[in-house]
Structure 1
Amino acid sequence: MAQSTEEESATVSEIVVTGSRIRQANLVTTSPVTQVTAEDVRESGVSRVEDLVTQLPQAFAAQNSTVSNGASGTATVSLRNLGSTRTLVLIDGKRMPYGSPLDAAADLNQIPAQLVERVEVLTGGASAVYGSDAIAGVVNFIMKKDFEGLEITAQYGQYLHHNDYDGPGNLRSVIEGRAATNPAQFQLPDDDVQTGFSREITAIMGVSSPDGKGNITAYAGYRKNNKVLGRDYDYASCSLGGQNAAGDSFTCGGSGTSYPGQFTDFANYAYTLDANNDFVPYVGSRDAYNFGPLNYYQRPDERYNLGAFAHYQVNDKIEAFAQLMFNDYQSVAQIAPSGNFGNTATINCDNPLLSTQQRGLICESDLVADIIDDPDTTDNEVQDFIDGVIAGGGTSADALDQIAAAAGVQSCTAAGADLIDPCPLYILRRNVEGGGRQSHLNYESYRGVIGIRGELDAAWSYEVSAQYSKVRLAQIYRNEFSVARLTRALDVVTDPSSGAPVCASVLDGTDPNCVPYNLFRRDGVTQEALDYVQVPLVMSGYTEQQVVTASITGDLTDKGLVSPWAESGLKLALGMEYRRDALDLVTDVTYSTGDGAGQGGATIGLGGANSTYDLFGEFQLPIVEGLPFAESITVDGAYRASDYAQGGKTDTWKLGLDYAPVSDIRFRASYQQATRAPNVIDLFTAQGFNLFDLDDDPCDFTDPNEDGTASSSACIGSNPWQVTSAQANNGFLTSPAGQYNYLQGGNPDLNPEDSETTTFGIVFTPSFLPGFNMSVDYFDIEITNLISSIGAANTLDACYTGGLQQACEAIQRNANGSLWSGDGVVVDLNTNIGGLKTSGVDINAGYNLDLADFGAASFGTLGFAFTGTWLESLETDTGLGFANSVFDCAGKFGNTCAANGIAASPEWRHRASVSWGTPWDGVNLGATWRYIGEVEIDSGVTTRLDSTLEDQHYLDLNGSWQLRDNVTLRGGVNNVLDNDPPLSYSVGTTGNNNTYPQVYDAMGRYAFISVTASF
C-alpha cells in the first residue's frame, strides 16, 4: 500500500510507472502513486476488486453492489470524490471503455481479480499523459504476465451479523412499538443472521514457448454473490422518518404511497382503509409505508469471465502482444414495490368499486373544499363534517345543506346538482401484491488489444497498438405498473348486461383486455387485475470504443543531451492517438413515454459518438546528479493537444520538479492544467424525470422535522413556483419518503471544463532504517466550468432563500403545490456550473523488517503499511452567485452535498496493516485497521440525533497456511467487531437503508475461506 522501496525497485532496472510513458529507474515520480498488490486482494477476501480499491482513503465508490435505487449495474470508482467520469481506469496502461450506455465511467466488474498483479493509483491527475478524463487521477490494473502452469482457486464467504443496535435514536424499541400496531410492515429481524453468501472459482493457465520468447496466460472464472435485504438488519428494518418531538428517539417513517393506500381529495384531506374497508383519516406516523426492508443492501450478481494475455518476441526489433477479454455479468436491483404514485388524478363517482361511505366522502370533496376555504369555518366544523360522513356511511343531501349553511356556503346538492363526476382523487397505493420492483441487468463486454513494440536502437523504443471494446446492455424492469392500464383499470362502471363491475374501456371497445383493479378493498386486487396492470419495461444498448495509439520513447544520454551537472540525459516520449467512443440506448414504449408508474418519468433512448485526435509528448531531464546537497534534481513535463469532434480543441500540460538533497530524502512538486471535453452522455442524454433527495419542502410550514422554513413571501403567491396559504399549511408538500421529482437531461451546447492540479510532497527513505519509506503529499485540484447540474435541492435554496429569479423559474409545482406527486418538478439539466475544488494531504508509509536483525531469529518477519488522507476541502460552486451557492462538503454529509453526488466525506481516513511472516513453515498472519472519521450534517443543525455520524474503526484479520508445496489455505474475517454503521434519515438515494454502505461496512462481519492449488 505504501511507496515502493529502493530494495523493491532494484530488481528491475527500468519500468513503466503509472502517470508516465517514460521508463524510469525506481518507482519515483513527481506525482504520488499508491499501490495495491495481488496479495492485498487475496488477504482481503474480496470477490470484487472495487471493494478493495475504495478502501484506499483517496478513492470513493460511486456505483457498486450496494446501490439499488438508481443502480446502473456497474462498479465505478471516484478518486478524490470528484466524480467517476473524471477518473481514468486502465488495464496495463490501456484505457477501458464506457461501462454502460447509462454511465460513462469504466466498469470494474470487467477486471479479473485473479489475474491482477498490482493496482497503481495515481491521484495527482494525469490528463496530459492519458487524456482529459484523468483529471482526478488514474487507476491502473497491472495484470500477471509470463505465468506458467495451472492455478485453481476456490473461495467462499458470507456475512455474519448479530442484531443489537445500540446507537443513538433508541431504534429497536421504536420498531417494537410500531410492530405492535403494524406487524405486517414492522418486524425486528432474528438476533443472528447469516446472509450474502459468496462463491467464486477461478483458474489461470500459462504456457511459455519452447524457445522462451513468448507466453500465453489464460484465465476463466465464475462468481456468484447472493442478495442481502434491509430487513435482515435491525438498523435497516425501519425507514427512518426523523426524530420525535423530545429529540431523544428516531421515528419510523416511510412513503405516503402506502398499503392499503392513501386517498387524497381536492382539499388534500387524506384517507386510508380500516379493517372494514371504510375510509378513515390517514395518519402519516401510523400509515406510511415502510419501504426499506425490501431494498437490497447488496445486489445479487453472477459473473462469468475468460480471456488471455499473450506476447511473443518475433525478433530483436519486434515483440507482438495481444489481450482478449470477455465478461458476462448479471445483477438484480430491487427496491420497494411500485404502485399508484398519484398517477391517476380523478375517479368516476358511479364507480361500483366505491362503497357508499367512500363515495360520500370523495365525491363531495368540492363541498369540503368550500367549507375549508371559507374564513368563517372552524377546524372543528370541518372535522365534524368528515367525522359525520365516516360515522354515517355517507351524508344525505339535507345534512349537506345544513353543514353548508352553517359554513355560509351553498352546497352543490342544495342547487339540485349531481355529485361531481369525475371527482378529484389522488391515489397513493403500494403494489404489495406484486412484490418489489426489480431491475434485471445483464452486461456482456468484449475487449481486444493487439500491438507491437520493441527497440529501434539503443536509445529509442516504440509501441503501436489498436484496441476495440464493446459493452452490451440488456435490462428488463419487472413488477412495474403501466399508468395507461392503471387509468383504464380504475375507470370502472356497472355492466348493463350482467350488473358486474367492468372497465369502461371494455364496453366501448378501446381495450377489451382491461380488468378492474379494485384498491378500495384490502383484498380487492385479483391476480387477473395484477397481470393486466403490471408490465415489463425493456431497454437495450451498447457502448463501443476504438483506440489506435503510436508512441516512441527515447533516452538521449548517448546523444549528448545531458546537463553538465548530471550523468543521465534527456528522456522523451512522443506519440499520437485516435479514439472514438460511441453509445446507443434503445428503450421500449413504456420507458420512452413515461408510462411506468414508479419510474418518476420517461427514460428516453439516446445515441451519439465523439472522437478525438491527440498529439502528446513527455520529457524528463536530470539537471543535477551526485553533487553535495544535490543528490539529484530532475524536471519533467508533458503536453497533450486534442481535437474533439464534439467539444472543440483542447490542450493540457504538466510540469514537475524532483529534488533530492541527499539519497535519504526527496522533495517533489507538479503543476498541471487540463481540459475535459463533455462525453456522449453529458451531451446527448434525453430529458426525463428522476428523483432527488430532500428532508423537507421549504414551503411546508407544518413539518415538525423541518430544518429551516422559507419565508411566506417567497412561497405564497400565484407564480408556478409558489403555493397557496392552504397548501403551505396542510402538511402535504413534504414527501414522506424524502424524494422529489426533477427533470434531467443532456446539453449539446456544453463547454469543456478546465482544471488546475498542484501537488508537492516529500519522500523519506532513510538509510539508517533499511526497509522504511514514507511520503507526504499535498494536493490541490480546482475545476472550473464544471460539467454537472446545479442540483435540484440547490435550486430550491437559491429561489426561496436567495430570491434568484433564474432558480425560481426552474421550479414547476403541480395543482396541489407538490413537487413529489403528479407533474410537479424541478428542472435540472446538464450545464456548466461554477466549479469544484478539493485539497488535502496524503500520507503513505511502509516498513519491512526481519526480526532476526533484532536478535529474534525465531520470530520471523514483519511488514507494516499505512496510507491515510486528510481532506482539507471539497468545495462546490453552483455558480448562482447567492449566499449559499458555494458549499464545502469536507467532513460533511446530507442533502446539499448529495445534490452533486457527494456522499459522506470524512476529513480523515486511513488504512493501516501489519503482516507477520511467522517462523512456522508456510504460515502468515495479518491485521488491518481501517478508520473513517466523523462527518457532520451539511445543514448545520446540531439538535438532530444524526447531526454527527460518529467515526468508525474496523479491524480485519487474515491468515494463510501452505498445506503442501502446491496447496495454500487462506481465511479471514473483515469487520471482526461487527460494527453497526452510523444512521441518518438524510441519506436518500445517495445512500441506502439509513446509511452509506459504499462508505461504511453496513452488513456486519464478513468471513471468508479459500484454497489455491497450483500444478
Structure 2
Amino acid sequence: MLSTPMMSIAQESEQEEVMEEIQVTGSLIRRENLVSTSPVTQVDAQQFKFQGITRVEDLLNDQPAIYPGQTSGQANGATGTATVDLRNLGTERTLVLVNNRRLPAGSPVADGIGADINQIPGALIERVDILTGGASSTYGSDAVAGVVNFIMKTDFEGIQVDVQASGYQHDNDNGMVQSLLEESNFDYPSGSINDGDSYDISLVGGMNFDNGRGNITTYYTYRDIEAVRQDDRDFSTCALGGVEGNYSCGGSATTDRGTFGNLNDVDLMVEGNQFVNRNGYLFNFAPDNFFQRPDERTTAGLFANYEINDKVKAYTEIMYMSNESNAQIAPSGAFFITDTFYCGNPFMSDQQYNALCGALEYGRDEYSDDGDILIGRRNVEGGARNNDLEHESLRTLFGFKGNINESWSYDIFAQYSEVEFYEAYNNDLSKIRVNRALDARLDENNNVVCASTLGPNPEDPDCVAWNIFEAGAVTQDMLEYLYLDLEAEGNTELSVFGATFSGDLGEYGMTLPQANNGVAVAFGLEYREESLDYNAGPGYESGDGAGQGGPRPSVEGEYDVTDVYFQALIPIMEGQPFAEELTLDIGYRFSDYSTSITTDTYKVAFGWAPNSDVKIRGSYNRAVRHANIRELFRPQAISLYDMDADPCGGPTPQRTLEECRRTGVTSAQYGAIANNPAEQYNDISGGEPDLKPETSDAYSFGIVYTPSQLPGLDLTLDYFEIEVTDAIDALTPQFILEQCLSSGAPEYCSLVNRDPGNGSLWTGTGSVTAVDQNIGMFRTEGIDVAINFDLELGDLGALRFTNTSTYIMDWERQEVSERPVIDCNGKWGESCEDPVIDFQNNFRVTWLTPMNLSINTQWRHMSEVEDVLDRADFDAQNYLDLSGIWSINDMVSIRAGINNITDREPPIGPSPGAGIFGNGNTFPGTYDALGRYWFLGATFNF
C-alpha cells in the first residue's frame, strides 16, 4: 500500500519539479521517480502533529498493518521499551531501521529483544515507511514480517523549538463495573478525572557550511509522562472474573488477611487475633497496578554530511537516548511458598491453633507435612512492587558515498550501537526469609524469635519473626528483614560494516530492445556482529524472590554473520503500447553465520504500468530469521505459567485416574493433589542452541490507480500472504499437559514432571518443560487499501481525504505440525493471545484553509473480536479525533486537538486478558484505554 505523505497541495507541485535519485524502502537501487514494486505505506511528520503524539509507538499502533508490542500500557512483564509488531507476527520478526540502517536490540531482558523505538526523536522524523512482507534479501535476518524504516531530517537549516502538553480526561460512569465493586466493598473512582499528563520539548538546529557543501543537524528532546493507576478508572479497579453478563470482581487468594489451611476443609483468615472461615474472600490486586507507566526520556544527537569532492561525500549519524520508566504491580507476599509450618508458633492464639493445627491433628510441637498447611499473606504493609527500568543507548554510524563514474556509485559505512540496561525491583520478599520468619519460637527471655536465631551457631542471627496472625501486628523491622534486593544489569551491542556498489549497465549496452533505461544493479558485502550480556544478579538468579515466579538466569552470547547480496532492476518495456513500464526486480542474499548455519534469501517482483494511470505490481519474497541470542543461549530455568487448576488436582479432578497416570500421578495421589490458590504453576523455559532458522514465504499482488481524468486521486489495493514455517517458539505448558492427558504420547508426557511426593506441578520438583524449539506455523492473508483524494475549493482552500484500511482474510497458527490449524482471525484469548482484528480502517479529512489553518478530523474503526473461551466478545470500536494547526506566521504555529472525542471506553473482559499484553481488563496497546486524549503544542522557527 502506498500512501502519499500529508502536505499542502502546492508543496507537492513544487516537489514534482525536483528530479533526483531516490532510494525507496525495500530496494538497494537509487533512481529518479522509483516506485516500489512492494507495498509500502508512508506515515509523514504531519500526522504526528495532527495526532499530538509524543510516543512514536502510539501513532504506529494506530496503523492497520501494525499491532502493539511493548507499550506504555504494560506493567506486569514490562521491559521499559517500545516495540513494533507488523502483521501480528511478533516483534522479533519486524526489522526496524533508521535511514535504511538497523536499530539495535532494545534491551537484554526477556521480551526486550525487539528494537526500542524510544530511541527515535519524533521531532526529526520526516516520514515512516512501512513495508510488509519479507525483506530479508535486502536487509538480512529479522525482516520476516517486514520493515519499519524511519527516514529522518538530515539537512535541516535554522532553529526549531517545539513544546507540547497533553493528558487524558475520562468520565468514570461504568455502572456495571461500579455495581460489582460495591458488591465486593471495593472503593472506586467516580465522575470526571484528569490525569496522565505528558510534557514534551524538542530543540532542533541545523546549518549549511562551506558554501553548501556540508550540513549539520543537531537535536535535543525531553519527555516526561505521569503515571495512571488502574484505580483511576472504574472499569479497571478490580480484576474481572466470570463471563460476559455474569461478571464478578475477582482477586487473589494471597490476601491482606492471610489464607491458612489446606484450602479444602480448612480455609481460614485472620480477624483480630483469631481465625475465621475465609468464605471465598479475595484480595483486590488491581488498584496499585500502573495503567500508564511513568516515563522520563532524553534524546540528543546529530546528523551531518560533507561533500569532500565530487567523488566522496562523508556522512555520520550519532543518536543518544536515556530513558527511565517504572512498572508497578500489586504488593508481594508469601504466595503459598512455605514447605512446612511449625504449629507451636507463639504468635498464634489458642483459638488459632485449634482452628488450624488442631483441626488437622498436629500437636503444638509438630511441623505439618508438606502441603497440609498452606499459607498465603499479602505484604500490604510494604506497599506495591515497583520495577525501575533504565535504558541508555548510543548509536553511531559513519560512512562515505559517492559516484565512481557516470555509471557506478558506492556507499560504505560502519555502525556501532550499544544499549545499557539497569533494573532495580523494589518491595519483593525473600522466600527463604519468609519461611524462617514464620518458624518462630520463644527464647529464654520469653521473646518471640526465629528458630534460626537460636543455638550456639545460629543459622540466621538477623531473622525477625513475622507476625501475620494478628491484625496490625506487622512492624517495619519485620519488613526490613523480609525484603530481598533484586537488581540486574546488562547490555546489547551491534556492529555492522557494509559496502554497496550500484551501477547502470545501460552504459555498457545492457538495455533491452523495448526499454529506454538500462539494467540497474546493486551488490555488496555486509558483516554484522550482535552480542547480549544480561547479568541477573544474585537475587534474581537464586529464584528467592517470592513474587518472581522462579529463578531468572543470566544470559550471555554472541554471533556474527557475513552477507553477500545482489539486486537487479530490469526494465523490460518502456513507452510501449499497453506497457508504459514493465520492470522486473530480483534480489538474493547469502548469509554465513558463526553458528555454522548458512541461509539463502531471495525475491522476485515486477511492476507493470499499462498506461500512466495504472500500475500493477507483485512480489514473492523468501525470508529467513536466524534465532536471536536469547533464543539460542538463554539457560533453562523454572518460571511460572497461569492455569485455573491442575486437571488432576483437587478432591474431584477434572480428568480420570487413567489419564492422570499418564502425567505421573499415582493412585494414592489422585484426589489429594492441592491446586495452587494463586493459579500459577511451574514450567521450565529457556533457549536451545540447536535451533534452526525459521523461514517465510511472502506474496503480494496489487494495483496503483492515479487517473489522469481525476487529478488528485490515488488509489492502491494490495493483496498479501505471509506464511512462517519452523517458527521459533515454545509450546505452552497447558498445551503439553493437555496433549499428554489426552494421548499419552511420550513426546509430551516426558515433559511433565510431577513432584514424586505429592504429585504437584507447583511445589517441590513439579514442573512442565516448555523450552524454545522450531514448531508449527503462522500464516496471515489479507488486503490493504489506501485512497487519497485532493479537492481544490478555490478561495476556500483545499480538502484532502485519506483512507487506509486492512482486511484480514485469514490469520492462522499451528502449534505443532501434527495438530490442527487454529483460526485466530477476529479472535482473542488462549493460543490466539491478543486481539487479531480482521478489519481496521482510518479515514482522515483535512481542510487546508486559506487562513493558514489546517483542520483535521479522523475516524478510526476496529471490527469486533470474539473470545476463544466464550467469556467476553469485544464489540467494534469507533474513535473520532479532531485537531487543528494554525501557522500564525513563518515563525510560529500552534496546534491543539482531542483524540477519542466521545471518551469511548475500551472493551473489557476477564483479567488478565489471556494475552501477553493484557492489562486493566483490556488491551491498552490495541484500544484507547484511558479516555479522551487532549494536547496543546506550539512550534517556533528561527
Q: TM-score, normalised by structure 1?
A: 0.88
The 1-side partners of 2:743 and 2:204 are apart by 61
- Provide the rounded CA distance (Å) in 2 between the counterparts of 1:1000 and 1:824: 38
Q: Write the deviation string for residues 529-585 of structure 1: whole angstroms up to 9, x where unpaired.
A: 001101220100010110000001112222211111111110101000000000101
Q: Could you say which residue in structure 2 is the equivalent of 1:445?
A: 393
Contact 2:344 2:365 in 1 (8 A): no
SS in 1 for 2:184: helix
Measured in 2, the distance between the counterparts of 1:366 and 1:785 equals: 52
Letter aligned with residue 451 of structure 2: A
Aligned to 1:499: 446
Q: CA deviation at 1:625?
A: 1.0
User: 2:865 is matched with which residue?
Assistant: 935
CA distance in 1, matches of 2:863, 2:515: 46
Q: Contact 2:219/2:300 (CA < 8 Å) preserved in 1?
A: yes
Distance 1:822 1:154, change over 3 A: farther
Q: CA contact under 8 A between 1:213 and 1:313: conserved in structure 2?
A: yes
- Give secondary structure in 2 for the equivalent of 1:686: coil
The AA in structure 2 aligned to 1:256 is A
Classify the secondary structure of the residue corresponding to 2:738.
Answer: helix
Match of 1:897 in 2: 832
Instruction: Measure how far apart 1:813 and its partner are.
Output: 4.2
Worse-matched range after superposition: 711-720 or 765-774:
711-720
Q: Structure 2 CA distance, aligned partners of 1:647 and 1:44?
A: 47
Q: Tell me the distance in 2 between the aligned counterparts of 1:886 and 1:799.
A: 19
Amino acid at match of 1:827: T
Report deviation, 1:274.
4.2
SS at match of 1:783: strand
Q: CA deviation at 1:698?
A: 4.0
**In 1, distance between residues paired with 2:658 and 2:936?**
60
Q: What corresponds to 2:501 in structure 1? A: 552
Aligned residue runs from structure 1 range 732-881, under 5 A: 733=675, 735=677, 739-814=680-755, 819=761, 824-852=766-794, 857=795, 859-879=796-816, 881=818
Q: 8 Å contact 2:862–2:876 — kept in the other structure?
A: yes
| Alpha-carbon distance, 1:718 to partner | 7.8
Q: Which amino acid aligns with 2:66?
A: A
Pick from 975, 986, 999: which aligns with 2:926?
A: 999
The letter for the 1-side match of 2:172 is N
In structure 2, stretches of 5+ residues that fail to align are: 6-11
- Are 2:180 and 1:174 aligned? yes
Q: Equivalent residue for 2:885? A: 960
Deviation of the 1:475 alpha carbon: 0.4
2:763 and 2:842 map into 1 onto residues whose CA distance is: 44
Query: Residue in 1 aligned with 2:875?
Result: 950
Kindly provide the CA deviation profile for residues 221-243 of structure 1, in whole angstroms up to 9, marking residues without a partner as x: 11100011000111101111214
Give 3-state SS (helix, strand or coil) of 2:59's partner.
Answer: helix
Q: CA deviation at 1:715?
A: 4.7
What is the alpha-carbon distance in structure 2 between the residues aligned to residue 1001 and residue 961 of structure 1? 26
Indicate the residue corresponding to 2:376 in structure 1.
428
Instruction: Answer with 345-354 or 69-78: which moved more.
Output: 345-354
CA apart distance, 1:249: 2.7
SS at match of 2:434: helix
CA distance in 1, matches of 2:405, 2:495: 30
Alpha-carbon separation, structure 2, partners of 1:160 and 1:2:
35
Counterpart-to-counterpart distance in 1, 2:128 and 2:181: 44
Aligned to 1:974: 899
Q: For residue 27 of structure 2, what is the aligned residue in structure 1?
A: 20
What SS does the corresponding residue of 1:535 show, helix, strand or coil? coil
The 1-side partners of 2:42 and 2:878 are apart by: 22
Distance in 1 (CA, whole Å) between partners of 2:266 and 2:718 is 58
- Give, as a single letter, the amino acid of the residue that structure 1 aligns with 2:136: S
2:313 maps to 319
Cα contact 1:120–1:141 (8 A) shared by 2: yes
Aligned partner (choices 557, 560, 574) of residue 625 of structure 1: 574
- Partners of 1:155 and 1:958 in 2: CA distance: 14
Deviations 1:627-652 (A, max 9, x none): 11122111111000000012511110
How far 1:278 moved relative to its partner?
Answer: 1.7
Q: Distance in 1 between matches of 2:809 and 2:62?
A: 19
How does the TM-score come out when normalised to structure 2?
0.95
Q: Which runs of 5+ in 1 are unaligned?
A: 180-185, 368-411, 704-708
Shift of 1:845: 1.6
Distance 2:160 2:130 in 1: 27
How far apart are the structure 2 equivalents of 1:580 and 1:848? 47
CA–CA separation in structure 2 for the residues paired with 1:625 and 1:557: 14
Partner of 2:548: 599
In structure 2, the partner of 1:476 is 424
- Residues 274-283 or 840-849, more deviating: 274-283
2:846 pairs with 1:915: yes
Partners of 1:816 and 1:334 lie apart in 2 by 35
Superposed CA RMSD in Å reads 2.2
Distance 1:662 1:538 in 2: 64
Q: Are the equivalent residues in 2 in contact too, given 1:733–1:817 (CA < 8 A)?
A: no
Aligned to 1:256: 253
Please name the residue that 1:203 is paired with.
203
* TM-superposition CA deviations, 1:453-476 (whole Å, max 9, x none): 001111111000001001000100
Judged with a 3 Å threshold, the aligned counterparts in structure 2 of structure 1 residues 87 and 151 are, in CA distance, closer, same or farther, namely same
> Match of 1:292, SS?
coil
1:748 match: secondary structure: coil
1:670–1:758 contact (8 Å) kept in structure 2: yes
CA shift for structure 1 position 64: 1.3
Range that drifts further, 60-69 or 787-796: 787-796
Q: Secondary structure of 1:132's partner?
A: coil
Q: CA deviation at 1:764?
A: 0.9
Q: Is the 8 A contact 1:647 1:751 kept in 2?
A: no
Maintained 8 Å contact 1:693/1:895:
no
Q: Matched residues in 1 for 2:596 and 2:347: separation? A: 58
Q: Which residue of 1 aligns with 2:163?
A: 154
Alpha-carbon distance in structure 1 between the residues aligned to 2:665 and 2:199: 52
Q: CA deviation at 1:774?
A: 1.2
Match of 2:274 in 1: 278
Distance 1:164 1:91, change over 3 A: same
Deviation at 1:691, TM superposition (A): 3.5
- Distance in 2 (CA, whole Å) between partners of 1:798 and 1:742 is 16
Distance of 1:722 and 1:1007 partners within structure 2: 61
Equivalent of residue 53 in structure 1, options 60, 73, 97 = 60
Following superposition, the deviation at residue 116 of structure 1 comes to 0.5
Percent identical among aligned pairs is 42
C-alpha offsets along residues 393-436 of structure 1, whole Å, 9 cap, x if unaligned? xxxxxxxxxxxxxxxxxxx88xxx97555774221111111111
Q: Equivalent residue for 1:684? A: 633
CA shift, 1:800, in A, is: 3.2
The 8 Å contact of residues 663 and 749 in structure 2, kept in 1 or not, is answered as no
The yes-or-no answer on 1:310 pairing with 2:310 is no
Counterpart CA distance in 1 for 2:584 and 2:741 is 52
Return the alpha-carbon distance in structure 1 between the equivalents of residues 576 and 667 of structure 2: 76
Residue in structure 2 matched with residue 712 of structure 1 by the alignment? 656
Whichever residue aligns with residue 398 of structure 2, its letter is I
> In structure 1, the residue corresponding to 2:142 is in which secondary structure?
helix
* Compared CA separation, residues 440 and 420, structure 1 to 2 (3 A): closer
Alpha-carbon distance in structure 2 between the residues aligned to 1:693 and 1:817: 18
Whether the 8 Å contact between 1:868 and 1:908 is mirrored in structure 2 is: yes
Distance in 1 between the 2:145 and 2:16 partners?
Answer: 26
State the shift of 1:350 in Å: 1.8
2 CA distance for matches of 1:632 and 1:735?
67
